[in-house]
């Protein structure tokens, strides 16, 4: 976000009587801004910054130091700031960049959020201000990149840099080993992590603590890489350790926005056990006979490992259907569900998970058809397996959302991929064969003592 440049701009516009000098340090380079004479002096690399600034301070000149850590592992000089001067250190979340300096100074840590979509939208408008006809398309393209690699400015505005970042991050996930999983224990905590993690797959966000205080929290960089990372961690870590990790990032998984990767919470036995009593059946009519959901009847059939389903255009070979596997589609526009698993109950059951904040989430016959076509494209023997298969939909909402109370319809609509007769057949199947449930969840549904 060029925080150092922004701070410099603000200080240059500060009252000259209160602040006469600004030292702007980037790595080994020092620029001295004299607001009284309105001049800038640049010093050669290797110049002793402490000597220069202390000499100015002894003359009674008031100033401020912006120290931008450009080289990892290089702490600011121990003698800074000097008398009458303030100082701010701009750095990535790596304690190796400032811990030595911090110990001898009375400094306060400030966490700065990454740019959000509104910030990026403003940048796009500025960049394409003379091309209003291409602004909307450009903003959409940049937002798509941001959804993939996260809010990292240097990678979302340049196609070449973006592609390189994708390859680099995916390689980091693919090459992850059991020993590497130790780096990711910082997720869901305020612990500073080395650049190995923070530079690729983790970001630091500001959260509000008790009594209005601000705390840092390590979160996954984007929904796309969250799914890749969590799937990889689940294959490498012991079940107990992975459950504890899920508990640590509960607020990232179950947030008011219900992030795309929140279905991973169903991998936690403690979470599933906590929500089973809260599952509420949505009946098509008030006097319809009750139906106990598969999770309530067979809680041991919950998913215990994830499987990320690549976008169909990249998918190479069909896979066999497995019970107790949380299938998580990579495609953001995947039809009908955000994730699903198969329960080896009686009858065998497909359990679809849909995360929503809305009070209703109806679907269409076209969407249901697209869903079954996707399953046929992903799985070997889908046609035979689907015979006699029971369907359940679980609509997961945050406790603060408008609760879903009514049966969710499957409307017959005009569509190129579904004829009118087929549409009526799918709608009839939805009414007779699909059982629906709603559950409101919060971080309280993660009882930590039962994760061990």
pLDDT digits (tens, 9 = 90+) for 435-447: 999 998 876 655 5
Across residues 138-143, what is the average pLDDT? 90
Task: Provide the pLDDT for residue 251.
Answer: 56
> Is pLDDT above 50 for 51?
yes
The predicted-structure confidence for 12-39, as pLDDT tens digits, reads as follows 999 998 999 999 998 888 999 999 999 9
Say which range, 91-105, 251-265, 281-295, has the weakest mean pLDDT.
Answer: 251-265
Task: Provide the pLDDT for residue 443.
Answer: 61
Task: Provide the pLDDT for residue 75.
Answer: 82
Cα–Cα dist 178/245, whole Å: 14
Cα–Cα dist 125/24, whole Å: 29
Higher per-residue pLDDT: 258 or 224: 224
* Percent of the chain scoring above 70 in pLDDT: 90
Task: Provide the pLDDT for residue 252.
Answer: 55
Task: Provide the pLDDT for residue 346.
Answer: 87
Q: Which residues have CB under 8 Å from 141's CB, separation 6+?
A: none
- Please give the DSSP secondary-structure letter assigned to residue 319: B
Higher per-residue pLDDT: 152 or 370: 370
> Is pLDDT above 70 for 190?
yes
Cα–Cα dist 406/425, whole Å: 22
Higher per-residue pLDDT: 208 or 230: 230
Q: Is the dihedral of CA 371, 372, 373, 377 positive or negative?
A: positive
- Whole-angstrom distance between the N-terminal and C-terminal Cα of the chain? 41
Say which range, 129-143, 250-264, 304-318, has the weakest mean pLDDT.
Answer: 250-264
The predicted-structure confidence for 317-372, as pLDDT tens digits, reads as follows 999 999 999 999 988 889 999 999 999 988 999 999 998 878 888 999 999 999 99
pLDDT band at 197 (very low <50, low <70, confident <90, very high): low
> Is pLDDT above 80 for 74?
no
Task: With H, G, I as helix, E, B as strand and everything else as coil, classify residue 93.
Answer: coil
- 8 Å CB contact between 24 and 31: yes
pLDDT band at 451 (very low <50, low <70, confident <90, very high): very low
Task: Provide the pLDDT for residue 231.
Answer: 85
Residue 336, sorted as left (phi over 0), alpha (psi -120 to 50) or beta, turns out to be left
Most distant pair of Cα atoms in the chain: their distance: 89
Total residues found in the chain within this entry: 452
b/e per residue 70-88 (b: at least 16 CB within 10 A): eeeeebbbeebbbeebebb
> Is pLDDT above 80 for 254?
no
> Is pLDDT above 70 for 210?
no
Nearest Cα residue to 21 out of 102, 92, 84: 84
- 8 Å CB contact between 19 and 35: yes
Task: Provide the pLDDT for residue 260.
Answer: 52
DSSP 332-344: TT-SS-SEEEEE-
Residue with tokens 């009594």: 211
Task: Provide the pLDDT for residue 244.
Answer: 74
Task: Provide the pLDDT for residue 96.
Answer: 79
Task: Provide the pLDDT for residue 195.
Answer: 55
Cα–Cα dist 196/174, whole Å: 15
Task: Provide the pLDDT for residue 199.
Answer: 67
The predicted-structure confidence for 86-127, as pLDDT tens digits, reads as follows 999 998 877 778 888 888 777 888 888 888 888 888 888 888
Cα–Cα dist 35/13, whole Å: 9
The predicted-structure confidence for 366-416, as pLDDT tens digits, reads as follows 999 999 999 999 999 999 999 999 999 999 887 777 889 999 999 988 776
> Is pLDDT above 50 for 452?
no
Cα–Cα dist 203/1, whole Å: 14
DSSP 20-63: -EEEEEETTEEEEEETTTTEEEEE-TT--HHHHHHHHHHTT--E
> Is pLDDT above 60 for 258?
no
């Amino acid at each position: 976000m060029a925080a150092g440049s922004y701070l410099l701009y603000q200080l240059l516009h500060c009252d000259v009587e209160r602040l006469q000098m600004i030292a702007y340090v980037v790595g080994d380079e020092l620029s001295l801004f004299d607001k009284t004479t309105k001049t800038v002096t640049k010093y050669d690399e290797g110049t002793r910054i402490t000597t220069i600034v202390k000499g100015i301070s002894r003359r009674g000149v008031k100033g401020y130091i912006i120290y931008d850590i450009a080289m990892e592992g290089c702490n600011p000089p121990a003698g800074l700031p000097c008398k009458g001067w303030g100082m701010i250190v701009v750095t990535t979340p790596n304690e190796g960049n400032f811990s030595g300096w911090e110990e001898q100074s009375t400094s306060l840590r400030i966490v700065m959020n990454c740019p959000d979509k509104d910030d990026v939208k403003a940048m796009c408008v500025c960049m394409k201000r003379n091309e209003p006809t291409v602004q909307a398309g450009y903003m959409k393209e940049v937002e798509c990149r941001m959804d993939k690699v996260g809010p990292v400015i240097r990678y979302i505005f340049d196609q070449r840099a973006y592609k390189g970042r994708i390859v680099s991050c995916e390689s980091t996930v693919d090459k992850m080993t059991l020993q590497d999983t130790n780096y990711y224990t910082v997720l869901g905590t305020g612990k500073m992590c080395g650049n190995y993690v923070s530079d690729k797959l983790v970001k630091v966000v500001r959260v509000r603590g008790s009594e209005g205080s601000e705390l840092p929290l390590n979160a996954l960089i984007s929904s796309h890489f969250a799914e890749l990372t969590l799937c990889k961690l689940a294959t490498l870590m012991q079940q107990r350790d992975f459950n504890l990790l899920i508990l640590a990032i509960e607020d990232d998984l179950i947030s008011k926005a219900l992030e795309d990767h929140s279905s991973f919470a169903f991998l936690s036995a403690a979470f599933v056990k906590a929500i089973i009593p809260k599952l509420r059946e949505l009946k098509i009519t008030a006097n319809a006979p009750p139906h106990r959901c598969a999770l309530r009847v067979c809680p041991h059939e919950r998913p215990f490992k994830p499987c990320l389903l690549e976008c169909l255009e990249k998918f190479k070979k069909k896979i066999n259907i497995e019970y107790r596997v949380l299938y998580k589609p990579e495609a953001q526009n995947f039809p009908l569900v955000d994730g699903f698993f198969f329960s080896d109950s009686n009858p065998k059951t497909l359990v679809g998970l849909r995360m929503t904040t809305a009070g209703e989430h109806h679907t269409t016959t076209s969407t249901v058809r697209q869903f079954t076509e996707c399953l046929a494209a992903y799985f070997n023997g889908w046609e035979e397996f689907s015979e006699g298969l029971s369907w359940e939909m679980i609509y997961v909402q945050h406790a603060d959302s408008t609760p879903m109370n009514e049966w969710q319809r499957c409307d017959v609509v005009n569509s190129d991929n579904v004829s009118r007769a087929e549409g009526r057949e799918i709608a009839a199947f939805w009414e007779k064969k699909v059982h629906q449930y709603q559950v409101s969840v919060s971080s309280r549904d993660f009882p930590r003592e039962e994760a061990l």
